[in-house]
Each structure stands twice: as C-alpha cells, then as structure tokens.
Amino acid sequence: MDRDKDAAPSSAALRAAVAGDPVQRPEPGSGAISETAADRLAAVTARAAGAPTAMIHTLTGTQLRLDGRFALPAGGDAIAVASSATLAHRVARDGFPVVVEDTQADPRAPCGAALQAAGVRAYAGFPIRAPDGEVVGACCVLDYRPRRWEAQELTAVDECAQACTGFVAERAARALAERQRLFLDALLDNMTTAVAACDADGTLVFANAAMRRLMPEDFDGNYLGWVRRQVVFGPDGRVIPGSGLPLIRALHGERLRDVELVYDDPRGNTVVLATDAQPILATEGGTLGALVAATDVTERQRTHRLRTAELAVSQALTQADSVEAAGPGVLAAIATTLGWPHAEFWQVDQDAGTLRPAAIHDAPGWAGRIAVPSELVCGHGLAGAACMTSDVIWIPDIADAGSPFRSGIEGVHTAVAVPIPSGGRTLAVLTFFADVTEDRPDYVVAILRGIAAHVGQFLERRRAEDLALALARSKDEYLGLIGHEMRTPLTSIAAYTDLLRELDPGEFAVTGRRLLDAVERNSSQLRHIVDELLDLAALDTGHAALSLGPCNLGDVVAEVVAGHPELTGGAFTVAVECPRACVVRADPERLRQVVGVLVGNAIAYSPDGGEISISVLRTGRRMAELTVTDTGIGIPESERDQLFGRFYRSSRARDRRIPGSGLALATCRAIIDRHHGSIAVVPTEGTGTAIRVRLPLYRSS
C-alpha cells in the first residue's frame, strides 16, 4: 500500500479525517489536530491580529467542530458552538471571509446570537481550505469592542487560515494512513498464511493471528531469540542450524522462497511450513529488519503422502495372496505416512463374534508399549468397538482418564480405529496409535475410509475365492456322502429286498421280520439325511419359519439333559451350571435342536466316557453364553475352522468310524445365524472339545 508522500489527500478524505462531535474537543489519537498545536496556532493568530480571542473550527459534514481556542472568556463555551446561525458557519458555507466591525450594527450577525450574548462586538473570519481548494473550516479572531480591522491584521488571520490548511492536510493524511493500517492489519489477520516482521535486532514489530498461533503464550517479544530456540527440521529430516533459518538469512540480506520447515507447534503437533523471507531495506541503504511469511502445508503434504500410501496399499494387496501376507504392507504404508508408531490389522470372525490380529506394525525404535490380545470380542477394546459401530473412531488423547481404552497402553495419545465394511457387515478393523495428540482432520478420515474400501474389496475377493474352493470341496464331500452315507443303506435295502423276494412262505415267517427291520433301519437313516439336507436348505434360503420370543435357556438345557439317559447312567461325569433365569430371544424348538446336537456330539465323541460340562451365563446386558465341553477325542486345531462346514467330518471321527453326515453342526450354525448369535469352537486345556454359543438376551421393550 505504498503511496506518494507528496500526494495531498482529497477533500473527502479531509472531511472524513476530521469527523467527530461538533461540540467536543478532539480526543488524543483521534486523527484531529492536536489540542496543543491548534491552541498555539489560535494564540499566534490572535497576537498577529492584535485580537484578544481566536478560534479554529474544522468542518465535518455540515457541522463545525472547535479544534483550537485562545483566551475564551469565562462562560464563553457558548460561542464555541459553531451552529448554522454563526458567522463561522457563514465563512465555511460561502467560502469567503467575513469581517464585522460591530456585531450589534451589522445585519450579518443574527440578533441574539451567541457572540453578542458573550459580549463579542468585532469579528474577522477566513476560510480554511484543503489543498484542492475545498473549504474545510474557519479561522477567526474576536474582539469585545467595536473595531475597524486593519489590512495587516486581516492578512495575518488569512495567513493563519492558510497555515491551518497544512495542519488539516497532515491530520487527514495521518487518519488515512491509520485507516489503511487498520485495513492492512485486518487483511493480514484474516490470512491463513502466518506473517511476522521484526526490526534489525530481532524484536517483533508485527505478527498476524496465524503467526501468533505458532508462538507460545509466554512469548516475550524477542522474535529472533524465539526462532533460534526452536528445533526445526528440513524436508530430509535433518535439523536446520540457527544460521540456516529463513529469518536469520533474511536479516543478512537473503531473499528466500518456499523453504520447507518441519517443527512442533505449542500443542505438540508436527507442522510443515512453506516459508518465504526477505529483508526490509531502508531507502538510504541498510537493513531495517526482516519479513517472514509461512504457509501451513501440513495437510497438503499429508494428503499427497496418503495418496502415495493408497498406491502402496494397492500394490501390497495385489502382490499378496492372503490377509496375513497383505497386512504388514498395508499397516506400514499408512502408519509410516502418518508418522504413527503402532498399527494393528484385526480380522473379524462373524460366526464367532470375535476379532483376531492378522498383522502388527511397530515403528523402529518406538519406546511405547501396547498389549495386543490374541482375541477380542466384538464390542470390547478399540477394534471391537469399531466393529460394532461400523464407523471410524478417533480419540485425540487415549491417555485421558475418561478414555475406556487406555488399559495396557503406554507412550501413545491419539488412537484411531477404521472398520473395513462390506455388505452391511465389518470384515476387518485397522487400528493406529500416535505418540502425539492430534485432532480429527476430515480429509485424513476420508482417505482412510478409501483405503479401507480397497482392503475390503481385497477381503471380499479372497472370500469369494475361498467360497469357490469350499464349494468345490463341498461338491466332492457331497459326492462322498452320496457314495457312502447314502449308497450304503440303499445297497442294504436293495440286498434285503432281493432276499425277501427269494424267501418261500415258510422261510419268510422265520426270517422275514428280521430282514424287514433291517430295511426299515436303513430307510430311517436315509430319511434322516434327506431331512437334514432339506432343513439346512430351508434355513439357508429363509424358508424355515422361526418363532422368536422369550425362551429360558436353562429350561432348554435341563430338558435336553433329561432326554439323554447316557448322562444319568453313570458312564459320564456331568456338570451343569445354569442361572435360574437366563431368558434369550429364540425359537424354543430350534434352540432345543441346537442344544441337542451339542450334547449329542459330546456323548458320541467321548466313546470311553469322561466329563461333560454345560454352562450358561450372562455376558453384560446384551448376550448370553452356552458352552458345552467334553473330554473326548477332540478336534485337531488345523481343522477347527472347517468344523461348521457342510458335510465336514473330522479326521479323528472318520478314523474311529463314528457315524454321522457332517450336517448337524452346519445346521446349528444356520439356526444360530437366524437368531443373530454366533457359534464357535473355543480352546480347551488338554483333550476334548468346547463349543460356545452366544445369543442375544430377550428385552421386553
């Protein structure tokens, strides 16, 4: 906003500069002529004209304001009010001098005017003009006796009026400069770029709001000293020495553009600044100080790096053939980009309602510690909470006393959980931890969601491939079932039927009943397999109607146990732990079917007897758990994930020729899914098997 120093302000600027109350004296610093200067000029005017009193008025709109006075009589404030009925107003209005030898005889002096009331008899006033010629006030002298004004006296008043022109012009220029400064300050304060200026000694002269946000609250004004105390890094991560800082280089005469600096602001957040700096030079030579402008490019840099991370994630997913193989690359790409030292990739088991860590990333040299469990229940822990909410969780400071997730965590503050959704369910959860406190930037959340979508597509693709393999395996197993479980009874039925045809009436009476019993037994076996297949198909397609309502899980368990005489005959040690009332939302018949399968399997797969325990308990306010545990032959750990697949028979069951179609547990899972629950194998100590069912509790509302 440079302007010609010799340019005179316009008359409009002059009028604006002298705006104010016409009765009051100008306040110090208001831009008006200073009280001392105006009063002295009035005194000079009075002496030069040989008059006892002098006044200087300036024009504001249509009102005159008293700026200078000399020797007003006691009680003479009335004549200081330059209303439209005064001679001073006539001077300012007409732009011509007004000379009155006797106010009582001159018709230009209104009857009853304040001048006459104050005893003023003679008056001489000359207009004060702006440099462009417009009238901006009046300079006048007064006498309390009639007098004839001499030419040299009037000339003195006129010259003093001309001198006032310089004062008024200077005042307008100062007011204009002040307004320009205010506009400039407002402009700089509303800029997102941080701007500061200092003198040659490094003392702060100006700092806008954006720059003040980068400074500590206890800043002492020594800008150069503050800059030197900062630990600032370059884009390569190396510390920049004090002599290399832009401000110091600018004070030595350099001009710098787009110098990238990285430092921690007063809140502890890492900030990336693109900095310009230049010296402020005096016209006669020498350096007056330096100007620094710094633009926060942290978000821009992070966005660029996150886009790069997206590419790295895509490459990691393309090159991986499993979640375990892709997880480390995905976590490293995101965590390294954001500068977060710890990250976890949790895979969700929808059937079991649990999460298991598929990959963990720790930055080299990170001194923090996070205890990562081998399994989380959906709804528990940071990852479990994100699994339930299906939305990004961003906690600025997990170390706060009120945070529910701070247990087992050291050396971190910000915690972020990003669910990976697909088709209305959560496939996996990414969790990240930062060792600084960071607010939630929308652009970071948006990019993390985009990365989660990429990972979700990968997981769905892998799931589709796994399903295709499972389908092919199921077809083979189905053919095996047809070839064994169904062909064997069909062969027996056909053989016994042929024998029946060959019997004569006498032999039929002796052996026919036994052969018919064998046919009936094999027919029942076939019918049971067909019923299981039809039931499972109906559950899968939603054609099986369920009547969900309040159902006491303890009563169902008691009925099933009572229906198995093996459990009461002494062959097994049975322990049942069940609360009196554990009411779930279920179809009683279907729930009885599930419990019957689990108890029946515990008996069937414990051929030498042993211990069978059945426990029912409530987990919080929402879920109930049923666990059936036996000490039988158990299931190999490598086969547990397949246990609920169609037609699956464990290798140990096949080796011991324990009969079964491999459909019962698949049917149980389909029933529990329709109840919005989960069923899974849980680890046990020693041999045996434990299967846990989770069901939602019944709520009357």
Tell me which CATH homologous superfamily contains domain 549-696.
Histidine kinase-like ATPase, C-terminal domain (3.30.565.10)
Quickly list H helices, 542-638. 553-562, 588-604
Q: How many helical (H) and strand (E) elements, i.e. helices and strands, does the chain have? A: 18, 25
Instruction: With CA atoms as reference, report the closest residue to 233 among 261, 205, 254.
Output: 261
Determine the pLDDT at residue 31: 37
CA dist 543 and 76 (Å) reads: 107
Determine the pLDDT at residue 327: 84
Q: Are 59 and 136 in contact (CB under 8 A)?
A: yes
CA dist 240 and 261 (Å) reads: 9
Paired strand residues for 617: 625
- Please report how many Cα atoms fall inside a 13 Å half-sphere around the Cα of residue 415, on the Cβ side: 24
Which pair of structure tokens corresponds to residue 385? 């909470």
Which one-letter DSSP state was computed for residue 363?
-
CA dist 530 and 518 (Å) reads: 19
Determine the pLDDT at residue 278: 92
Determine the pLDDT at residue 23: 30
Which pair of structure tokens corresponds to residue 90? 């006539």
CA dist 628 and 688 (Å) reads: 11
Q: Are 612 and 573 in contact (CB under 8 A)?
A: yes
Q: Are 630 and 605 in contact (CB under 8 A)?
A: yes
Determine the pLDDT at residue 384: 87
Determine the pLDDT at residue 11: 36
CA dist 605 and 649 (Å) reads: 12
Tell me which CATH homologous superfamily contains domain 306-466.
GAF domain (3.30.450.40)
pLDDT-derived band at 84 (thresholds 50, 70, 90) equals low
Which one-letter DSSP state was computed for residue 697?
B
The average pLDDT across 284-288 equals 83
Question: Residue 473 carries which side chain, given as an amino acid letter?
Answer: R
pLDDT-derived band at 700 (thresholds 50, 70, 90) equals low
Determine the pLDDT at residue 620: 67
| Lowest mean pLDDT, pick from 23-27, 320-324, 414-418 | 23-27
625 versus 25: the higher-pLDDT residue is 625
Domains 306-466 and 549-696 share a fold: no
Q: Are 324 and 316 in contact (CB under 8 A)?
A: no
| Lowest mean pLDDT, pick from 145-159, 420-434, 450-464, 649-663 | 649-663
Residue-wise pLDDT tens digits, 377-397: 888 888 888 888 888 999 888
- Kindly tell me if the per-residue pLDDT of 604 is higher than 70: yes
φ and ψ at 568, to 5 degrees?
-110, 0
- Kindly tell me if the per-residue pLDDT of 51 is higher than 90: yes
Tell me the percentage of the chain whose pLDDT exceeds 70: 82
φ and ψ at 104, to 5 degrees?
-80, -20
669 versus 124: the higher-pLDDT residue is 124
Instruction: With CA atoms as reference, report the closest residue to 68 among 86, 55, 82.
Output: 55
The number of angstroms, rounded, from the C-alpha of 80 to the middle of its chain's C-alpha atoms is 64
| Lowest mean pLDDT, pick from 280-284, 298-302, 557-561 | 298-302
Determine the pLDDT at residue 48: 92
Instruction: Work out whether strand 369-370 and strand 194-199 pair parallel, antiparallel, or are unpaired.
Output: unpaired
- Kindly tell me if the per-residue pLDDT of 515 is higher than 70: yes
Which one-letter DSSP state was computed for residue 301?
H
Residue-wise pLDDT tens digits, 140-156: 999 999 999 999 999 99
Neighbours of 529 (CB within 10 A): 17
Determine the pLDDT at residue 3: 36
Q: Are 123 and 142 in contact (CB under 8 A)?
A: yes
Determine the pLDDT at residue 445: 84
pLDDT-derived band at 401 (thresholds 50, 70, 90) equals low
Which segment, 43-52, 208-217, 601-610, 631-640, is predicted with the most confidence on average? 43-52
- Kindly tell me if the per-residue pLDDT of 529 is higher than 80: no
Give the chain's mean pLDDT. 78
For tokens 């016409």, name the residue: 22
According to CATH, what is the number of the domain 11-187? 3.30.450.40
Q: Are 680 and 668 in contact (CB under 8 A)?
A: no
**Cβ neighbours of residue 564 closer than 8 Å, sequence gap 6 or more:** 599, 600, 603
Q: What top-level class would CATH report for the domain 191-296?
A: alpha beta
The average pLDDT across 163-178 equals 76
The average pLDDT across 592-602 equals 88
pLDDT-derived band at 6 (thresholds 50, 70, 90) equals very low
Question: Residue 147 carries which side chain, given as an amino acid letter?
Answer: R
Determine the pLDDT at residue 610: 82
Instruction: Work out whether strand 53-60 and strand 135-143 pair parallel, antiparallel, or are unpaired.
Output: antiparallel
Which one-letter DSSP state was computed for residue 41?
H
CA dist 483 and 529 (Å) reads: 13
Neighbours of 646 (CB within 10 A): 23
CA dist 170 and 246 (Å) reads: 38
Q: Are 132 and 11 in contact (CB under 8 A)?
A: yes
Q: Where are the domains of the chain?
A: 11-187, 191-296, 306-466, 549-696
The average pLDDT across 284-290 equals 85
- Kindly tell me if the per-residue pLDDT of 493 is higher than 50: yes
pLDDT-derived band at 660 (thresholds 50, 70, 90) equals low
Paired strand residues for 56: 68, 139
Tell me the percentage of the chain whose pLDDT exceeds 90: 12
- Concatenating the DSSP letter of every residue in 201-247 gives T-BEEEE-HHHHTTS-TT--SBHHHHHHHS--B-TTSPBPPGGGSHH
Q: Are 381 and 403 in contact (CB under 8 A)?
A: no
Residue-wise pLDDT tens digits, 100-144: 999 888 888 775 566 777 788 899 999 998 878 888 889 999 999
**Cβ neighbours of residue 650 closer than 8 Å, sequence gap 6 or more:** 635, 636, 639, 643
- Concatenating the DSSP letter of every residue in 406-473 gives -TTEES---EEEEEEEETTEEEEEEEEE-SS-----HHHHHHHHHHHHHHHHHHHHHHHHHHHHHHHH
CA dist 670 and 425 (Å) reads: 17
- Concatenating the DSSP letter of every residue in 82-107 gives --TTSHHHHHHHH-S-EEES-TTT-T
Determine the pLDDT at residue 235: 78
Determine the pLDDT at residue 417: 92
CA dist 586 and 423 (Å) reads: 25
Question: Residue 155 carries which side chain, given as an amino acid letter?
Answer: T
Determine the pLDDT at residue 542: 66
CA-CA-CA-CA torsion sign (404, 407, 409, 411): positive
pLDDT-derived band at 352 (thresholds 50, 70, 90) equals low
> First CA to last CA across the chain, in angstroms?
71
502 versus 293: the higher-pLDDT residue is 293
